[in-house]
Amino acid sequence: MKIVAVIVTCNRLELLPRALKSVSGQTRKPDYVYVVSNSTEDNYFKEQKICNEFGFILFKNYRTENYAGALNTAVEEIVKQQGITDNIYFASLDDDDIWLPDYLKEIEANNTEDFDLIAANYLRKSDEENLLMTLPALLSENNFLKGNPGIGRSNTFIRLKTLLKSGCFDEALHSSVDRDFFVRVFQQKPKYKIIQKHLITAYTDKNRERLTTNREKKIKSLQIFYYKYQHLMREEVRQHFFQRAKKYFSIEQSEILINQHQEKSIIKSELEFKNKGDYQFVIGFIAGNEIIAQIIAKQIIEKKIPVDLVLIIEDVPKGATLADTKNIFKEFSIPYLIVKDGDWKQNLKSGHYGAYYQQFSDINSIPIGRTILHHHLFTET
């Protein structure tokens, strides 16, 4: 078992050392530690000094500027540097929480059946509360559709492959990120174990802003969550969802539901190929790293996908190339097209993708990357 500890931090210079100390003090040391910063530029440099004291690597979040984006930054770096194998596990910790010294040791000792997911009880601690949260022994996606049974953030310990199969973290969400993630995890029917021991302490002080106390972000995230998963909710689950929103966040059902009468009606029709077989099958992706691009290319070959064209948006670091990826496609006579970074950057500048995108000079979020990719998929086919 290889354990990757991931700590996301956001302008909490006074709290970060406590969290990092709990990681460095583990009786079973993590194999790798990734600290990801969502902080201001000034605090980022201060965080670097703090991380250096512990010998930990600090990354700047280069995806969407929120918690999910930072987690996905860590996932991307893990895949780049460690690859994807069955024995790699992802363990996250909030910058305001701590792991007890034997947390990772207990996790490893309890992984007797090669579990996909292992979770332990945690203590909610502040000046006003000292509450041990006991996790249910049995879990399904319904637990997370209703609410949060107590898994996420600082007691997330999951196999990297399971995390990737579940789709990583939804960067459209500012809160309910873990809840959303675990709906998708439990749809995969993972092999899991609950450790009924207090191994994590979550500090819930109310004298600082937390994502769960930002009302506007909470309403928006609950809207996204509800409309994403309403098709999975039985009526009893649906009612529990709205009751919980009101009980814990004073958010009414009417604030979550969107008035459908205000939405323009959309004419829907089934997609069909009238001339069966007379169509193109095209795969498109953004290559932010040459290693990942090669992995995708090899999967296309290994799975014998009958593709008519592979379209790649080049976004690799300066000095890197996609030469090896091109050679793979050439060797197996698979048609490919690479949109060079200089070309799409010029297109952004000129307004080729739309006037709104002229303000951007790089792919630093999912919407920008998706717009560029979809544009070229359309124009090239």
Which element (helix H / strand E) includes 168?
A: none
pLDDT of residue 274: 47
3-state secondary structure of 115: coil
Rounded distance between C-alpha atoms, residue 47 and residue 39, angstroms:
9
Angle subtended by helix axes 235-249 and 215-229, to nearest 10 = 180
Q: Could you tell me the two tokens for 343?
A: 């070309």
Closest CA to 204 of 127, 101, 313: 127
Burial 354-378 (b: 16+ CB within 10 A, else e): eeebeebeebebbebbebbbebbee
Decide if pLDDT at 209 tops 80: no
In what order do the strands lie in the sheet containing 282-287? 282-287, 309-314, 336-339
DSSP 219: H
3-state secondary structure of 287: strand
Q: Give the rounded percent of residues in the chain with a pLDDT score beyond 90.
A: 66
Pick the most confident of 165-179, 198-212, 275-289. Answer: 165-179
pLDDT of residue 356: 83
3-state secondary structure of 153: helix
Decide if pLDDT at 74 tops 70: yes
Closest CA to 48 of 74, 20, 26, 22: 20
pLDDT of residue 264: 56
CA dihedral 21, 25, 29, 30 (to 10 degrees): -20
Decide if pLDDT at 317 tops 90: no
Higher pLDDT, 287 or 276: 287
- Give the 3-state secondary structure of 180-202: HHHHHHHHCCCCEEEEEEEEEEE
Which element (helix H / strand E) includes 335?
A: none
Average pLDDT over residues 141-169: 92
Every domain range in the chain assigned CATH 3.90.550.10: 2-211
Rounded distance between C-alpha atoms, residue 200 and residue 310, angstroms:
46
> What residues have CB less than 8 Å from 371, skipping those under 6 apart?
353, 354, 357
Residue corresponding to tokens 């022994």:
137
pLDDT of residue 275: 46
Decide if pLDDT at 179 tops 50: yes
DSSP 172: T
Rounded distance between C-alpha atoms, residue 240 and residue 232, angstroms:
13
CA distance readout (Å), 319 to 207, 285, 315, 322: 46, 20, 11, 10
- Domain 2-211 CATH class label: alpha beta
Rounded distance between C-alpha atoms, residue 37 and residue 166, angstroms:
24
Q: What is the CA radius of gyration of the chain?
A: 23
pLDDT in tens, 246-280: 988 889 998 998 875 555 555 666 545 444 456 67
Residue 130 banded pLDDT, cuts 50, 70, 90: confident
pLDDT in tens, 318-363: 888 999 999 999 999 999 999 999 999 999 999 898 888 888 888 8
Higher pLDDT, 207 or 120: 120
